[in-house]
Structure 1
Amino acid sequence: MAGERMPIMKRTRPQPTASEKAQRWLLWTATAIITAIAFEALAVTTAMPTVTRDLDGEHLFALANGITLAAQLITTALAGQWVDAKGVKPALFIGLSAFAVGLVICTAAPTIEIFTIGRLVQGLGGGLCVVPLYVLVGRLVPAAQQPKFFAFFAAAWVVPSLVGPAISGFLVQQIHWRWVFAIVPTILVFMLPAIGRVLAILPPMEFTGNLSRIPRTALLAFGTGGAAIILQVLSGTTADDFTVFTYVAIGVSMVAALAFVRPLLPPGTISLRRGLPSTIAFRGIINGTFIGIEIYLPLMLQRIHGWDPFQAGLTLTFGSITWALGSFVQARVVDPDKRKHIATWGAFIMLVGCVMTIPVAWSSVSPILLIIAWSIAGLGIGMAFPAMATHALSLTPIEKQGGTSSALQLSDTLGASLAIAVAGIVFALIAGQGTLSFFVLLVVMSGLAAFALAVSFRVEPKVTVVGLPNSVDSR
Structure 2
Amino acid sequence: MAKKPRKQFTASENAQRWLLWTATAIITCIAFEALAVTTAMPTVTRELDGEHLFALANGITLAAQLITTALAGQWVDAKGVKIPLFLGLTLFALGLLVCTAAPTIEIFTIGRLIQGLGGGLCVVPLYVLVGRLVPAPRQPKFFAFFSAAWVVPSLIGPAISGFLVQQAHWRWVFAIVPVLLIVILPAIIKVLSMLPGMEFTGSLSTIRSTAVIAIGAGGAAIVLQVMSGTESDSFTPLTFIIIGVAMVSAMAFIRPLLPKKTITLARGLPSTVAFRGIINGTFLGIEVYLPLMLQRVHDWNPFEAGLTLTVGSITWAMGSFVQARVIDPGKRQRLATWGSGILLLGAAGTIPVAWSSVSPVILIVSWALAGLGIGIAYPAMATHALALTPIERQGKTSSALQLSDTLGASLAIAVAGIVFAFVSGQGTAAFVTLLTVMTALAAFAFLVSFRVEPKVTSPGLTNSAPTR
Query: Which of the five TM-score ranges fits, normalised by the shorter chain?
Result: over 0.9
Partner of 1:52: 45
User: Mean Cα displacement is larger for which, 95-104 or 465-474?
Assistant: 465-474
Correspondence 1:293 to 2:286: yes
Partner of 2:87: 94
Residues 61-89 of structure 1, C-alpha deviations (whole Å, 9 max, x = no match)? 00000000000000000000000001000
Whichever residue aligns with residue 220 of structure 2, its letter is A
Q: 1:10 to 1:424 in 2, by over 3 A?
A: farther
Following superposition, the deviation at residue 471 of structure 1 comes to 2.6
Retained in 2: the 8 A contact 1:12–1:398?
Answer: no
Partner of 1:179: 172
Whichever residue aligns with residue 379 of structure 2, its letter is P
Partner of 2:373: 380
Distance 1:119 1:433 in 2: 24
Following superposition, the deviation at residue 473 of structure 1 comes to 6.3
Distance 1:384 1:220 in 2: 29
SS in 2 for 1:128: helix
Distance 2:422 2:206 in 1: 41
Retained in 1: the 8 A contact 2:217–2:250?
Answer: yes
Following superposition, the deviation at residue 470 of structure 1 comes to 8.2
Following superposition, the deviation at residue 187 of structure 1 comes to 1.1
Candidates 420, 428, 440, aligned match of 1:427: 420
Correspondence 1:36 to 2:29: yes
Following superposition, the deviation at residue 196 of structure 1 comes to 1.1
Percent of pairs identical after alignment? Answer: 77
Q: 1:243 to 1:27 in 2, by over 3 A?
A: same
Retained in 1: the 8 A contact 2:95–2:112?
Answer: yes
Candidates 228, 242, 245, aligned match of 2:238: 245
Partner of 1:154: 147
Distance 2:276 2:378 in 1: 6
Candidates 447, 452, 471, aligned match of 2:445: 452
Distance 2:328 2:4 in 1: 26
Point out where structure 2 has 5 or more consecutive residues left out of the alignment: none
Partner of 1:4: none
Candidates 245, 261, 264, aligned match of 1:268: 261
Distance 1:433 1:170 in 2: 25
Distance 2:384 2:155 in 1: 29
Following superposition, the deviation at residue 371 of structure 1 comes to 0.4
Following superposition, the deviation at residue 91 of structure 1 comes to 0.4
Following superposition, the deviation at residue 467 of structure 1 comes to 9.5
Partner of 2:106: 113
Following superposition, the deviation at residue 431 of structure 1 comes to 2.2
Following superposition, the deviation at residue 191 of structure 1 comes to 1.9
Partner of 2:250: 257
Point out where structure 1 has 5 or more consecutive residues left out of the alignment: 1-8
Partner of 1:215: 208
Residues 384-406 of structure 1, C-alpha deviations (whole Å, 9 max, x = no match)? 00000000000000000000000
Following superposition, the deviation at residue 472 of structure 1 comes to 4.6
Distance 1:195 1:459 in 2: 34
Mapping for residues 45-444 of structure 1, pairs under 5 Å: 45-444=38-437
Distance 1:265 1:420 in 2: 21
Q: 1:432 to 1:204 in 2, by over 3 A?
A: closer
Following superposition, the deviation at residue 105 of structure 1 comes to 0.1
Residues 429-456 of structure 1, C-alpha deviations (whole Å, 9 max, x = no match)? 0125511110000000000000000000
SS in 1 for 2:121: coil
Residues 134-179 of structure 1, C-alpha deviations (whole Å, 9 max, x = no match)? 0000000000000000000000000000000000000000000000
Whichever residue aligns with residue 356 of structure 2, its letter is S
Q: 1:470 to 1:135 in 2, by over 3 A?
A: farther
Retained in 2: the 8 A contact 1:462–1:473?
Answer: no
SS in 2 for 1:420: helix
Whichever residue aligns with residue 83 of structure 1, its letter is V
Following superposition, the deviation at residue 206 of structure 1 comes to 0.4
Correspondence 1:18 to 2:37: no
Following superposition, the deviation at residue 14 of structure 1 comes to 2.1
Following superposition, the deviation at residue 241 of structure 1 comes to 1.1
Distance 1:434 1:468 in 2: 53
RMSD (Å), alpha carbons: 1.6
Q: 1:88 to 1:472 in 2, by over 3 A?
A: closer
Retained in 2: the 8 A contact 1:395–1:470?
Answer: no
Retained in 2: the 8 A contact 1:139–1:398?
Answer: yes
SS in 1 for 2:45: helix
Following superposition, the deviation at residue 464 of structure 1 comes to 6.8
User: Mean Cα displacement is larger for which, 148-157 or 14-23?
Assistant: 14-23
Distance 1:57 1:311 in 2: 23
TM-score for the superposition, normalised by structure 2: 0.98
Partner of 1:6: none
User: Mean Cα displacement is larger for which, 187-196 or 313-322?
Assistant: 187-196
Retained in 2: the 8 A contact 1:276–1:474?
Answer: no
Distance 1:336 1:92 in 2: 33
Q: 1:443 to 1:207 in 2, by over 3 A?
A: same
Distance 1:407 1:160 in 2: 26
